[in-house]
Structure formats: structure tokens, C-alpha cells
């Protein structure tokens, strides 16, 4: 499944200031109205050594499914293809390692992920959860298998090489539909990014489906989320200010739309903290290429999804009515500038490596020449992948 780097609730508890931007930057931002709230993620105690949390899930996975090839791996486990022995149905199985569940909050996160996926079951743009299992080493989520690949990889694999605003709008429309469905059901995803959108099949008209609800949570009216979670390039300003809600999903879709139209992210930086400062302070530059060649509707749409004040930003439901994204809308049909796909190809090739570098290495302390060495070997690694 997606292997982009995310920071979790457990990360936030293990390093409370790891993802803070400087106070001066935060103070310069317009104040977000505050509500009375409770930090529901305040548990910081460890699970006693030797104690295994019981989830109440079935324990006969290996008697019912045969393991196949590896699909991907992440911070807390890995995902592989499996075959249901009784039916021959192919599924994806996400393994979540118990060794990573050091705190009660990590256990709660897994239980919440299962509950949320069940609550969203049936929507055509959500990867379906079939059942959950457990043993002494892992919790297993048996899910719908999506064989059409990740979002950006699929776009770059187009054989005709044609890619237009209308193609991008069709993708964004599906993202907004599933975000609106989540929000209507009192759920916020909190980690929307290209790696977490998969195509069901390789057919041209395949549905796009969202996956990875590991950071998702239930919305409580009048209560903000105070933890900083998500993925570096897609995190909203209010998440960094530790007062976020469903509006943060719309921001993430705005960032993805920018990438779909330009081939690059809107906010850049050599370190994670610099990316965050750009998110908080930098305004969009619609004079930079290829924006002058894009339609005014496209610019207006991206602008309204990336408004820094979450209360002024379009909701997912409102965004679906925008003239650029509507099915009968005004997204241009002529091919985008050739530089867009070229930029996107570079973004896909280097983004995973650079996101890791942003978290581990800071050019101010490591030294520029060592960063160059890191990326030199990274390029060699990726060119042979």
C-alpha cells in the first residue's frame, strides 16, 4: 500500500516538540478561534512488559488465507497479497506489529482504524475491510485488493502520454467525494496523500480508492485535534497550530491537486521545519510555471482549497460544486504542458527518499556536502529500483 512517510500519534507522544515550528512563526499566524476541549490522546504510560493487548479478533488467519507477494511496508508493519482458501479470492493483508504497540494509545489507534473502516464500509471510493485477525505477533487487517497502482504512478504510466486538467479533475472529484462522505459520517482521515489513493484495477475507468485509516479519528463537535500527525508535505497550517478538524483533509486534497496540475508540491523546504514554515507563511505563486497556461477555474479551485484559515476554506461538499471539478464543469481538455509530467516523474522518484531525509537529517547541522552524498547514493538506489 502507500509507503510515504507519516508521523503518528505515538510519535507525537514520544517527542512532544519534534514537530513544532518556532513560536515566532506561530504567533505571526491569524488566531484560530478556540473551543473548550479535551485532549483525548493524553495517555503516555507504557504497556507492561510481557503483557499482550487483546483485541477480540479471530486468531485463525493462517488457516483461512495463504500468504503471497509483498505489496509494501511502513513504520508499523507491512502489507502483502493473500488468497482466501475457501473461495480463491485475492485480498490485501496489512500486518501491524505488536512490537510497535508500546503504549495504550497505539492499541487504541488500531481499534479505531478497524472501527472507522467498518463505519465507512460500502462507499465505492473506500478500500473495504473484510475482517480482522490477531496472534501473538501481529494484528491483521484483511482488505480489498487494489491492483491498479498508486495515483501518481498510474498517471505517469499512461501510454498515450496525454494528460489534461479534465483528467486531474476526475481524480480530484473522487477524492472529494470520499472526504465528504467521511466528514458526513463524523470521520476525518488526517493523512490524505497520493500514496494513500489506489486504483481498484488496471482498467481505464477504474475507481480510485482511499486507504490507510491508521491516523483517522472521529470528529467531536466543538473539539479540535491537538496532536500533529500526517505527512510532511500535506499537513495543514491548523494541524501545526494543534487546533485542527476535518478542514485539514481539504487542505491535503488541495496540495495533491497542485501536484496533479504542476507536477510539484506548493510548499518546499530543505528540512521538515522549513516545509512547515512555508505552509504557515508562504502564499501560492500563480505566476510560476505552468500556472500561466492553466485555466482560471483551476487556479481558483486550488486557491480556495489552500486558504490558510480553515474557516474560510471550502468544505469537501462545497468543493464538489466548484465549476472546475464538477463532472459537467469547465476543466480544460487540452494536454497540460510537457513539464508537468516531467516534474511529476521527478517528484515520484525522489519524494520518498527526501521525506526520510527531512526527518533524519537537517542540512544546518549535518552539512550541505553530506546531504549531497546522501542524495547521490539515493539517486543510485532509486535508479536501480
Task: Indicate the annotated binding residues for ATP.
Answer: 94
* 191 carries an active-site annotation: yes
Q: Which cell goes with 373?
A: 552524498
What pairs with residue 73 in β-bridges?
78
| Cα separation, 327 vs 321, whole angstroms | 9
Strand partners, 58: 133
Q: What is the DSSP string of 248-268?
A: HHHHHHHHHHHHHHHSS-SS-
Q: Considering 22, 160, 167, 191, which one is annotated as catalytic?
A: 191
Query: Residue 60 has which C-alpha cell?
Result: 485463525
Pair 298, 331: CB distance under 8 Å: yes
What gap in Å lies between CA 169 and CA 332, rounded to an integer? Answer: 9
Q: Which three cell numbers stand for residue 68?
A: 503471497
Distance CA 220, CA 213 (A): 17
Cα Rg of the chain, angstroms? 21
CB 267 within 8 A of CB 233: yes
Name the region of 77 (left: φ>0; alpha: ψ -120 to 50; beta: rest): left
Show binding-site residues.
94
C-alpha cell at 218: 472521529
Cell match 477555474: residue?
297
Q: Which residues are catalytic?
A: 191
Amino acid at each position: 500500500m502507500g509507503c510515504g512517510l507519516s508521523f503518528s500519534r505515538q510519535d507525537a507522544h514520544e517527542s512532544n516538540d519534534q514537530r513544532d515550528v518556532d513560536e515566532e512563526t506561530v504567533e505571526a499566524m491569524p488566531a484560530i478561534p478556540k473551543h473548550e476541549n479535551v485532549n483525548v490522546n493524553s495517555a503516555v504510560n507504557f504497556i507492561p512488559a510481557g503483557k499482550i493487548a487483546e483485541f477480540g479478533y479471530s486468531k485463525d488467519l493462517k488457516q483461512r488465507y495463504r500468504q503471497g507477494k509483498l505489496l509494501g511496508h511502513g513504520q508499523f508493519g507491512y502489507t502483502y497479497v493473500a488468497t482466501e482458501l475457501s473461495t480463491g479470492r485475492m485480498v490485501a493483508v496489512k500486518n501491524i506489529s505488536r512490537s510497535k504497540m508500546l503504549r495504550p494509545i497505539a492499541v487504541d489507534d488500531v481499534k479505531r482504524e478497524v472501527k472507522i473502516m467498518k463505519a465507512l464500509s460500502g462507499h465505492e471510493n473506500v478500500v473495504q475491510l473484510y475482517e480482522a485477525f490477531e496472534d501473538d505477533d501481529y494484528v491483521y487487517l484483511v482488505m480489498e485488493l487494489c491492483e491498479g497502482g498508486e495515483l501518481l504512478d498510474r498517471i505517469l504510466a499512461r501510454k498515450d502520454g496525454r494528460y489534461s486538467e479534465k483528467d486531474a479533475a476526475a481524480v480530484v472529484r473522487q477524492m472529494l467525494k470520499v472526504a465528504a462522505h467521511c466528514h458526513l459520517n463524523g470521520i476525518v482521515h488526517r493523512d490524505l496523500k497520493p500514496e494513500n489513493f489506489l486504483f481498484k484495477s488496471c482498467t481505464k475507468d477504474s475507481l480510485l480508492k482511499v486507504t490507510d485509516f491508521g491516523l483517522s479519528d472521529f470528529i467531536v463537535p466543538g473539539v479540535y485535534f491537538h496532536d500533529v500527525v500526517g505527512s510532511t508535505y500535506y499537513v495543514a497550517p491548523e494541524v501545526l497550530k494543534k487546533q485542527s478538524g476535518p478542514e485539514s483533509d481539504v487542505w491535503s486534497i488541495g496540495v495533491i491537486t497542485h501536484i496533479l496540475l504542476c507536477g510539484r508540491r506548493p510548499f518546499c523546504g530543505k528540512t521538515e521545519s522549513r516545509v512547515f514554515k512555508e505552509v504557515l507563511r508562504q502564499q501560492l505563486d500563480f505566476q510560476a510555471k505552468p500556472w500561466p497556461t492553466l485555466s482560471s477555474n483551476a487556479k481558483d479551485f486550488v486557491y480556495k482549497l489552500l486558504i490558510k484559515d480553515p474557516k474560510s476554506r471550502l468544505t469537501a461538499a462545497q468543493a464538489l460544486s466548484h465549476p472546475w471539478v464538477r463532472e459537467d464543469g469547465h476543466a480544460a481538455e487540452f494536454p497540460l504542458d510537457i513539464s508537468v509530467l516531467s516534474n511529476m516523474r521527478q517528484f515520484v522518484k525522489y519524494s520518498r527518499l527526501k521525506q526520510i531525509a527531512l526527518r533524519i537529517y537537517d542540512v544546518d547541522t549535518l552539512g550541505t556536502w553530506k546531504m549531497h552524498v546522501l542524495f547521490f547514493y539515493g539517486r543510485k538506489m532509486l535508479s536501480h529500483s
